[in-house]
Structure 1
Amino acid sequence: MRSTPPNRRSLRGSLRRIGAATAATAALVLAGFGSAVQADAATSATTSSKVTWAATGCATPKHAGELACNSYRVTGGLTAFQKQQAARTGVTPKAADASTPSGYGPTNLQSAYGLTSAAASNGSGETIAIVDAYNDPNAESDLATYRSYYGLSSCTTANGCFKKVSQTGSTTSLPSSDTGWSEEISLDLDMASAICPKCNILLVEAKSATMANLGTAVNEAVTLGAKYVSNSYGGSESSSDSSYDTSYFKHAGVAITVSAGDSDYGAEYPAASQYVTSVGGTNLKTSSTTRGWTETVWKTSSTEGTGSGCSSYDTKPSWQTDTGCTKRTISDVSAVADPATGVSVYDSYGITAGWYTFGGTSASSPIIAGVYALAGVPSSSSYPASFPYAKAGTSALNDVTSGNNGSCSTSYLCTAGTGYDGPTGWGTPEGVSAFTG
């Protein structure tokens, strides 16, 4: 029976507070805030407010043996995005105002990861699959609101862009609805849209959050033709993981991404699978550098931050050559996950309908799945988790060199530095070339 790591169980549902920031207008969002020339305004805003957030409902499993999602929703204060916007405009919004976005949107994320050109040109005809548990009855309508606000093309069942199915492929016999997993689903769908706006989206809903049902949903996504599959959930490792690898995640020619976890240093499954791209999390801010952005390891407290570590059970893939872990090392790459520098999401099921800021490695997994989709279809015999390793140490990846997610006996497994490290892998995308085979 699988359970979540003990430190997550003590943490989930509690509020976390860190220093953060001020506000935004919709016009500036659409105008492209976050370009490479944007200075770091986070220290120059005239007002400040502490950001508070809580783990989403699915971060605490409903039943024994279920896995947890890896997401947080901001509940108060002003985010880094809002503070930066306030510095530009001189207008400070109300904290926790759900009427307008308060986190990074598509323009910001595409700018941060060098994807602006690729997102405008690539992805047409590709399908990103999002695998989650339970049903979100408002998934399609919430996605439509997000895409409309940011000027993205319509993605609906009617035009063939969006499809929602159960783990058996049924479009009518869906799982029971769940408010916590619905927030997770909104986050995942919006991030896939933000990175690859021309992609089709397939939402596969498992009937519960067990590994068997979520794994069956992964297999169904592949059966239905998805070449990019995002999974924003995890739990403690077990001796069954090698069999789960073979049963659910060994899909040559398919890029499968998995969140590394939100409970600081420590290995989770399925991020530890040798066949997936494990995705860590960063704090993302604008800066005066040539890139225009800077990133550090996401860590909020001794029990909250990106996961990483050395698997106890899973075999080390041939392309992974770090010497401090004889088995599978987590992570491979990373993207934004800190709720204080989080992403905008529209959600309406079980909470007041509106705009919210989300964080957690649940955000970084679909972001990386979107990058794979922009990069093009993997060869049929490949395992795309290996692709970033071929571009290790090059300008195709932004090396994250500062921060840690805890203490460990082998320092690079929990501390960022030049080159490979556990919390951020080889770094974050700078374009798509590190994600092609």
Structure 2
Amino acid sequence: MSNPEAPSHRRKRGLRKTLIAAASAAAVIGGTYAIVAPAGASPVSQGAVGPHVRRLCSQPKPGMMACNALQRTDIVAKAATTMGSNGTPSGFGPSDLDSAYNLPSDGGAGQTVAIVDAQDDPNAEQDLATYRKQFGLPDCTTDNGCFKKADENGGSSYPTADSGWAGEISLDLDMVSAVAPKAHIVLVEANSASMDDLGTAVNTAVKLGAKFVSNSYGGPEDSSDTQADSQYFNHPGVAITASAGDSGYGVEYPAASPDVTAVGGTSLKKDSSQRGWSESVWNTSSSEGTGSGCSTVETKPSWQKDTGCSKRTVADVSAVADPATGVAVYDSYQSGGWQVFGGTSAASPIIASVYADAGAPASGANPASYPYANTSALNDVTSGSNGDCNGTYLCTAGSGYDGPTGLGTPNGLKAFTAPSGSTGGGSTTGSNHTPSHRHHKPRR
């Protein structure tokens, strides 16, 4: 039931992600924006991981994180100009997610959701506009104050563009738009995929006013993770989500942090049930499926009561992640237009946006505790497995809590709202602590 051995240290900086996937045609939105298209070859490390699926980012290396986005390769990309006025993109759209998870169609008003990713997507705002126009969502632009793009320090010195992370950024922005269409969106781009750069971007997102921060990336656990917790993720009163990973049974960081809501992945299908939908653990192959398991590093939070793991257990909740039942995304930089994406990279911004629909967390709260106080307000996922854990709940779904899907998927907003009468909403180890924004020694 233990996880694969984690590396003993991490470097603060590593080599930047290899740039740019296969060339894609440029597109123009409404004759207003010039869309930048990448050129060059896709690195083989980004290749296929299952039938008709490829990773947008190469596997993480020591000291580096990798995005958890997966792209369907059997879907022919369609630019906005060729979709047609009556065309419908493949993959689930906003109305599907609202229906599946019993969500309001106009959620997020008055809230700010931040997306933290590495590298730059030069087409981020333009592609966001295309997605929102396609689905009849309100404009979210720099000019109207709804959208803001920043570097990891809050400025406009954006990092080097990268096609894989650009696809991740499109997925994240589109999922926030789908689930919390009236929320403001802040995109913070880290200089590299190191935990220090990404963590700095998390701190910046909070400084910019976001009460909800999604992190769709991860890497192997490490002994310095607890230091990163205090440096980057200790923000009481802010709902921080992190994807559980796409490589099946095993734990990634930062999903293992007790300061975040760890988000697992499901396969989501329409059916004839009263709900109209069914879900199971997402597991496509031995190398592709939602992450889960028992941390080897992190202390168990006080609100997590499962008995088969003495430390932090992943995940807390879940949402759709299977590329075979994936979501529609518009990405002109990496893929040339409309595509179907999956991975727990889809699930993390979905859950962050559900938190936003539910309203700002209580001051001093750790919102990761909220679902544990409202377990009946979730869709319990009871079938499927993501690996070999001797048949235990750490990799096998069942009634109640399990590793791959946590407590379940959203069924309305109650599970993501502060419990009645709560002021703190729970803590990681029994007491809330004040976030530190001082300069710390670099994470090894």
Structure 1 and Structure 2 fold alike (TM over 0.5): yes
1:409 offset after TM fit, Å? 3.7
Write the mapping of 1:14-25 to structure 2, written as runs, cut at 5 A.
14-17=48-51
- Alignment pair present for 1:101 and 2:86: no
Name the TM-score, length of structure 2 as normaliser: 0.81
Write the letter of the residue equivalent to 1:53. V
Write the mapping of 1:272-421 to structure 2, written as runs, cut at 5 A.
272-352=256-336, 354-392=337-375, 394=376, 396-409=377-390, 411-421=392-402
Structure 2 counterpart of 1:119: 105
1 CA distance for matches of 2:296 and 2:220?
A: 10
1 CA distance for matches of 2:48 and 2:100?
A: 30
Which SS does the other structure have where 1:184 is aligned? helix
- Post-superposition CA distance 1:353-372 (Å, at most 9, x none): x1000000000000000000
1 CA distance for matches of 2:335 and 2:306?
A: 44
Name the TM-score, length of structure 1 as normaliser: 0.83
> Of 228, 233, 239, which residue of structure 2 is paired with 1:249?
233
> Of 184, 189, 192, which residue of structure 2 is paired with 1:208?
192
> Of 150, 161, 164, which residue of structure 1 is paired with 2:135?
150
* Residue pair 1:259, 1:271 contacting (<8 A) in 2 also: yes
2 CA distance for matches of 1:123 and 1:177?
A: 29
Write the letter of the residue equivalent to 1:301. S
1 CA distance for matches of 2:284 and 2:251?
A: 18
> Of 200, 203, 211, which residue of structure 2 is paired with 1:219?
203
Structure 2 counterpart of 1:435: 416
Write the letter of the residue equivalent to 1:334. S
- Alignment pair present for 1:193 and 2:180: no
1 CA distance for matches of 2:321 and 2:45?
A: 17
> Of 156, 163, 168, which residue of structure 1 is paired with 2:153?
168
Which SS does the other structure have where 1:163 is aligned? strand
Which SS does the other structure have where 1:265 is aligned? coil
Structure 2 counterpart of 1:92: none
Write the mapping of 1:26-65 to structure 2, written as runs, cut at 5 A.
52-56=52-56, 58-61=57-60, 65=63
Count the aligned residue pairs. 373
- Post-superposition CA distance 1:301-336 (Å, at most 9, x none): 112100001000001000001000000000000000
1 CA distance for matches of 2:10 and 2:344?
A: 20
1 CA distance for matches of 2:127 and 2:288?
A: 28
Write the letter of the residue equivalent to 1:408. C
1 CA distance for matches of 2:364 and 2:49?
A: 45
Quickly say closer, same or farther: Cα 1:64–1:274, change in 2 above 3 A. closer
Quickly say closer, same or farther: Cα 1:225–1:96, change in 2 above 3 A. closer
2 CA distance for matches of 1:73 and 1:209?
A: 20
When structure 1 is superposed on structure 2, of 64-73 and 139-148 the one drifting more is: 64-73
Write the mapping of 1:69-80 to structure 2, written as runs, cut at 5 A.
69-76=67-74
Write the letter of the residue equivalent to 2:105. A
Quickly say closer, same or farther: Cα 1:417–1:12, change in 2 above 3 A. farther
* Residue pair 2:129, 2:139 contacting (<8 A) in 1 also: yes
1:207 offset after TM fit, Å? 0.2
Quickly say closer, same or farther: Cα 1:10–1:321, change in 2 above 3 A. farther
* Residue pair 2:151, 2:159 contacting (<8 A) in 1 also: yes
* Residue pair 1:2, 1:235 contacting (<8 A) in 2 also: no
1 CA distance for matches of 2:127 and 2:334?
A: 12
List gaps (5 residues or longer) in structure 2: 1-8, 15-42, 419-444
Structure 1 counterpart of 2:30: none
* Residue pair 1:2, 1:236 contacting (<8 A) in 2 also: no
1 CA distance for matches of 2:257 and 2:181?
A: 28
Say which structure is richer in helix. Answer: 1
* Residue pair 1:255, 1:277 contacting (<8 A) in 2 also: yes
1:59 offset after TM fit, Å? 3.6
2 CA distance for matches of 1:305 and 1:278?
A: 15
* Residue pair 2:50, 2:287 contacting (<8 A) in 1 also: no
* Residue pair 1:11, 1:303 contacting (<8 A) in 2 also: no
Quickly say closer, same or farther: Cα 1:189–1:96, change in 2 above 3 A. closer
Quickly say closer, same or farther: Cα 1:336–1:59, change in 2 above 3 A. farther
2 CA distance for matches of 1:403 and 1:309?
A: 15
* Residue pair 2:167, 2:335 contacting (<8 A) in 1 also: no
Write the letter of the residue equivalent to 1:153. P
